[in-house]
Chain A
Amino acid sequence: MATTELPPTTTHAVAARSLPQIVAHKVEKPNTGWTSWVTTTDHKKIGIMYLVLTFVFFILGGVEALLIRLQLAQANNTLLTPQTYNELFTMHGTTMIFLFVVPIMAGFGNYLVPLMIGARDMAFPKLNAMSFWMLLLGGVVFYGSIFFSPPECGWTCYSPLSSSNYLPTAGVDAWIFLIHLTGISSLVGAINFYATIANMRAPGMGWGRLPLFCWAILTYAILLILALPVIAGAVTLLLTDRHFGTHFYDPSSGGSPLLWQHLFWFFGHPEVYIMILPGFGIVSEILPVFARKPIFGYKAIAAATVVIAFLGLLVWAHHMFATPSPTIVLVFFMMSSFLIAVPTGVKIFNWIATLWRGTIEYKTPLLFCAGFIGTFLIGGITGVFLAVFPVDWQLTDTYFVVAHLHYVLVGGSVFTIFAGIYFWFPKITGRMLGEGLGKASFWLMLVGFHTTFFVQHAIGLDGMPRRIYEYDDVGNLELYNLISTVGSFILALGIGVTVVNVYVSLKKGAIAGPDPWKGNTLEWYTQSPPPANNFDSVPRIRSVEPMKDIRRQIARQGESLEPRVPVASASTAPEQGLQPS
């Protein structure tokens, strides 16, 4: 009898317990030092490692860019050999795209998405760690090639130039493995983001209350999941062509170099939106905070993000207008590229409307956002020029395209990245970045950027193709190129000022407190830097600006500090910063 009675009594006992009981036999001391970083699965630590690593690659890519500009500062310059020059622009493009812009967005997403949606961590913390280490491996494999022979086929690695007949050295293989490793990193990360945002939102945070940055990261993740397998397949075919005797891209055996271009750009164009959409998300978070106004048209911006992503999958062949393609194909891709201008325009209008009738506070993050809108607009407009395919026949593969893509990716992504760094640095480190250095950095970067790249439109219109290591001084080409080179060093100086700012502020910056900007989203609810568990309690979300609700609630309670809400102390005494113990 006793034996048969045992199971019911145990289940009864379990059901009766209201809380699980945990008996601690031993408290393990948390890891400190470098092992705490290597072994971590904490999204915040991984996020910081992403941000630091990608910024190192950004500096490397920047140095490569400066070498390129030095070579082009004079007509028929002999500073670099053609081989070195080709290697440099290949390294520069590949680094900036695969090792900087795409993964730094993952870094922001890693750090911020769980905090913004009130989650403890990402959905799959170990996968998250794997994402980071795969990225590092990809970077190491790729940069390892500088010790033998870096690739020299451009970041697009067009076939047949990238075949073993024309580039037998292992640089192209290093590039292929970079694509694979960073691809796995991004793919795993994207699945993680999707799972996290879909499942781990705070109570009450419906899709209509999801912060716009999380909308952007969700769309970023979906685009990565759709686009990455295609490039993974494409580079695998290239690898087998190079080493295992296949002929996918070899025209002499029935293969097609155009197949590579289609596969590459089917990935490559969504990649552009992968790089810019999280930046749009950052701007959509920062503008309302400093305009002290809700974001204008939340639904329109979220919808525009999704529409851009969808259309972004349908425009790839606008990179191929000069290839032998039927006119109807050109017309289709011209129209789809035009269409994408519409939701992009809607976003810009909504951002300006967010500033309209606000009370704008000129802090560094706001300056970077304003600089982004003004600069990105030019990139968007030149994009319409390039979408008109007969006009593109004149402009493609020239410095006009170089100018356009840098207006989109530097004026677009990089400015938003810097806005994000200045905005979230207090949350990540607990200290403010210096405003004086921040503003100096912004103005140097803005002036340097436009000096570098605006004149490149004219360089392209005057007939200078991209990717050439030397040119004759026809017309004003040498003058224009010199202006561009001077600008690039001003831009580099501006970036350097931010690096100094970060270095100084890490130790001497003003203590930030949990909510130095009077933010709108949940990451400002917790301490700066947040504790390992992020939140002790997560409030019920009632709007897209939960922090504003909380501040209002506190104000209504007559400034009486509620002990459960740590942020209350900061919101009554902002800027000076009370650090909660």
Chain B
Amino acid sequence: MTNAPARHRRSLWFAAAAAVALTLLLPGVAAADFWTPESGGSSNADAIDNLYKFVLVIAAVVFFGVEGALFYSLFKFKARKGAVAAQIRGNTRLEIGWTIGAAVIVIVIAVATFITLPSIRNPENSGSEGLNLAASSGVAPGVLVASGPSKQLPPNGKSLNIRVNGQQYLWRYTYPDGDTNTLNNPFSYEEMVVPTETTVTLDIEAQDVAHSWWIPALGGKFDAIPGYTNYTWFKVPKAMEGKTFTGQCAELCGRNHANMTARVRAVSPADFEAFIARRKQDTKAADDAAAAQRKQVEAPAAQQPDASRTDSAVETELP
């Protein structure tokens, strides 16, 4: 008599558990990257992905072990007629055992992190098919002298060093061209163009509020904080040539935070040099046009016999 409702209730439990499991698993079937971060654009992003997967495996073991023990206890030790609870108050050996067990798990994860860390933190050398940073390509390599406490350059000391500047609500990229006055360097907004097989180091800064630089497939995010410079790097493999990686600001920076997007377009080194040349040409053309316009505006003013009179005229007009 008591058996039938108990069995009925148990089947209800299993149905509920199965429903929960299904809702958890269904999207997993639908999308391969349901469980893991983005990667594929750079070796450090891949290394983070691998480290994540390692932790995920350990986490799954812990998850199923502990949830299993919990659900087993909940089902097995349900109050039944005549059942008497064991009056156990503790077990020192068990306490020591699972303390050590938990400690071992986190030590294993820590060791794995330390083993993987150099491949994530330290930039690699550029590939042989990358941009020739030594030659007079119009692109200057990053220099060790400029590196701060957490800035790292590849072992050979050569990288394409791009300055990333976060501002409400866009990103500005300044490419090196050997000119020490960075105002003269080629630049672009929102879309960064980089050569493949070339180690790109980033100096990340912000000029108003805090932002965070993040292109998921190229590695982790690094905050752009006013008054500080943050550093990261990536190297897009040749196979990714022509691909554009997207990302967006990851630190709340105001009302249009959602629209502060960033793109990184990987091109061949030759195309990159062409891009830089074109940017410089465009900038020069724009400068020239501005200079011509200024001359045009200033020319009539220069014909005025008395400059001070025009000044006062302007002033009186202002209010």
Chain B residues with CB below 8 A from A341, complex form: 102, 106
Residues in B49-67 with C-beta less than 8 Å from chain A: 51-52, 55-56, 59, 62-63, 66-67
Write the nearest CB–CB distance from A314 to chain B, whole angstroms.
Answer: 15
Q: Which residues of B contact A272 (CB under 8 A)?
A: none
Flag if B95 contacts A360 (CB, 8 Å): no
Please name all residues of chain A whose beta carbon is closer than 8 Å to the beta carbon of B124 when the two chains form the complex.
none
Q: Contact: B109 with A359, CB < 8 Å?
A: no
Q: How large is the interface on B (under 10, 10 to 19, 20 to 34, 35 or more residues)?
A: 35 or more
Interchain nearest-CB distance for B43 vs A (Å): 13
- A-binding segment of B157-165, B190-198, B253-261: B253-261
Query: Given the interface contacts A324-B223, A324-B228, A360-B77, does A476 sit within 8 Å of B30 by beta carbon?
Result: yes
Contact A450 B20 (CB under 8 A): yes
Contact between B34 and A461, CB atoms less than 8 A apart: yes
Q: A316 on the interface (CB 8 Å rule)?
A: no
Cβ of A339 < 8 Å from any Cβ of B? yes
Does A14 sit at the interface, judged by CB under 8 A? Answer: no
Cβ of A468 under 8 Å from chain B: yes
The segment from B80-88, B280-288, B307-315 found at the interface with A is B80-88
A407 interfacial contact with B, CB 8 Å: no
Q: Which of A216-224, A348-356, A527-535, A568-576 lines the interface with chain B? A: A348-356
Given A346-B102, A381-B63, A390-B116, A361-B27 contact (CB < 8 Å): no
Query: Is A117 an interface position by the 8 A CB rule?
Result: no
Q: Which of A309-364 contact B (CB under 8 A)?
A: 322-327, 334-335, 338-339, 341-342, 345-346, 348-350, 352-353, 355-362
User: CB within 8 A of B221: which of A298, A352, A382, A397?
Assistant: A397
**Residue on A nearest B49 in the bound complex, by CB:** A394
B257 close to A467 (CB less than 8 A): yes
C-alpha gap A465/B247 in the complex (Å) = 9
**A251-B226, A465-B250, A480-B27 given; A390·B73 CB < 8 A:** no
Kindly list chain A residues whose C-beta atoms are within 8 Å of the C-beta of B86.
293, 357-358
Interface hits, B253-276 → A, CB 8 Å: 253-259
Residue-by-residue, is B67-98 near A (CB-CB < 8 Å gives 1, otherwise 0)? 10111011001111001111111110011001
Tally chain A residues at the interface, Cβ within 8 Å: 97
Among residues of A, the one whose C-beta sits closest to the C-beta of B86 is: A357
If A345-B102, A359-B80, A469-B258 touch, whether A322 touches B212 (CB-CB below 8 Å) is yes
Main secondary structure of the interface of A (DSSP, over half): helix
Q: Which residues of B contact A33 (CB under 8 A)?
A: none
User: Judging by beta carbons under 8 Å apart, are A353 and B94 in contact?
Assistant: yes
Chain B, Cβ-Cβ closest to A355: B73
Q: Contacts A326-B150, A384-B55, A469-B258 given: A346-B98 contact, CB under 8 Å?
A: yes
Q: Are B88 and A465 in touch, CB under 8 angstroms?
A: no
In the docked arrangement, what's the CA distance between A370 and B13, Å?
14
Stretch in A275-283, A451-459, A554-562 touching the partner: A451-459
Residue numbers of B with Cβ under 8 A of A are 16, 19-20, 23-24, 27, 30-31, 33-38, 45, 47-48, 51-52, 55-56, 59, 62-63, 66-67, 69-71, 73-74, 77-80, 83-91, 94-95, 98-99, 102-103, 106, 109-110, 113, 116-117, 120-121, 149-150, 208-210, 212, 214, 216, 219-223, 225-231, 246-259
Chain A interfacial positions (CB closer than 8 Å to B):
82-83, 86, 152-154, 158-161, 166, 251-252, 255-258, 291-300, 322-327, 334-335, 338-339, 341-342, 345-346, 348-350, 352-353, 355-362, 370, 373-374, 377-378, 381-382, 384-385, 388-398, 443, 447, 450-451, 454-455, 458, 461-463, 465-471, 474-476, 479-480, 483
Q: List 26 A-B contacts (CB under 8 A).
A: A154-B252, A158-B251, A161-B210, A161-B252, A161-B254, A251-B226, A256-B227, A257-B210, A257-B225, A300-B90, A335-B110, A349-B94, A355-B73, A357-B86, A359-B80, A360-B77, A377-B67, A381-B63, A385-B56, A390-B47, A394-B45, A394-B48, A454-B23, A455-B27, A461-B35, A465-B249
